[in-house]
Amino acid sequence: MIKRLVRDGHLLAVTRGVYALGAVSWSTRAWAGLLVAGESSCLSGLAAAHVWNLTAEPPEEIEVRTVRHPHRRAGFRFVRGAPLASEGVPPRTTLEWTAISLASRASTMDGAVHWVTRALAEGGRIEQLLATAEGVANLRRRREVLDLLHELEPGVESALEYRYLQDVERGHGLPQPERQVGTAGERLDLLYRDFGVVIELDGRLGHVDDGAFRDLRRDNRHAEQGLIRLRFGWTDVTRNPCAVAAQIASTLRARGWTGRPTRCARCARALAS
């Protein structure tokens, strides 16, 4: 009977033994993986990250954590392990576990920072992330992940913002700005309120087309309010943090900051050469 229903188009095969009455979406496939995995299973890895809104695009391969050991199936990765706390519908590893797990798998430190800061942007808390990381005895990159969580400032929401915090702000003794400041219907990345200076950290691709005009209008609006806006991209912050720090320090001093920037190890090497 099932074969006839599939043949006539009344049922659609999602995977062996699981059928859908309508179109097979990514969510349908995720539920199929959970049904195959059985009780106490949950989405994990990139699949859980997508449901938590940590990724924009759903992964092709859906990872499911399970206490069973299902046969391999195309499009699914079943990870066998003890049951974990799960949340939501469909069930998935907690936001904190998902972020820490993916951070530990990252091939670079920037990748680890990305997952942690995305979780913070989606409502996670540093304290909960720390507790999760400390509770995993065999966590890969354990020392690096724990150091990262101890060093993060509230409001740091991307790998670029973390690089700025470490290599520009702390590395050169700049004053601490306010982060993610809401004002006049928009949000400022960094604001030195006492000196009227706004720092915007653009993503790797920068702003083009409509985004560029939106930036211009925003810059003009800030100029009317007496604010100076400095914008830096990924290359500026990661390859030339000393130059970025020098420009910000010069701007802040021109607006009343009485401190002086310090030299980092990179500055010292540049002077020595």
**pLDDT tens per residue across span 40-51:** 899 999 999 999
- Do 41 and 106 lie in a common domain? no
HEC sequence for 127-160: HHHHHHHHCCCCCCCHHHHHHHHHHCCCCCCCHH
- Do 65 and 120 lie in a common domain? no
**ω before 90 within 30° of 0 (cis)?**
yes
- Do 108 and 76 lie in a common domain? no
Which residue shows structure tokens 């006492």?
194
In a domain? residue 215: yes
The pLDDT confidence band at residue 217, using thresholds 50, 70 and 90, is low
Poorest-pLDDT segment among 119-123, 202-206, 247-251: 202-206
- Do 124 and 198 lie in a common domain? no
Q: What's the whole-model pTM score? A: 0.75
In a domain? residue 185: yes
In a domain? residue 172: no
Query: Would the pLDDT of 123 be above 60?
Result: yes
Domain containing 267 — which CATH number? 3.40.960
Domain boundary among 85, 110, 142: 85
- Do 198 and 265 lie in a common domain? yes
Q: What's the rounded Cα separation, in Å, for the pair 135 and 149?
A: 14
Please give the structure tokens belonging to residue 89.
């519908």
Residues 6+ apart with CB under 8 A from 97: 84, 85, 132
- Do 72 and 19 lie in a common domain? yes
- Do 52 and 114 lie in a common domain? no
In a domain? residue 162: no
In a domain? residue 90: no
Span 58-87, average pLDDT: 88
In a domain? residue 62: yes
In a domain? residue 12: yes
Q: What's the rounded Cα separation, in Å, for the pair 265 and 171?
A: 8
Number of folded domains that form the chain: 3
pLDDT at 10: 77
Domain that holds residue 60: 2-85
- Do 251 and 228 lie in a common domain? yes
Q: What's the rounded Cα separation, in Å, for the pair 260 and 39?
A: 60
- Do 73 and 113 lie in a common domain? no
Span 247-261, average pLDDT: 94
- Do 185 and 106 lie in a common domain? no
Total Cβ atoms within 10 A of residue 250: 12
- Do 46 and 109 lie in a common domain? no
pLDDT at 152: 82
Residues paired with residue 199 on neighbouring β-strands, in sequence order? 190, 230
CA distances for 219 relative to 80, 109, 186, 206, 223, angstroms: 52, 33, 12, 15, 6
Span 172-186, average pLDDT: 86
Backbone dihedral angles phi then psi of residue 14, each to the nearest 5 degrees: -90, -50
In a domain? residue 164: no
Fill in the amino acid letter for 191. Answer: L
pLDDT at 243: 93
- Do 185 and 265 lie in a common domain? yes
Span 138-158, average pLDDT: 83
pLDDT at 56: 92
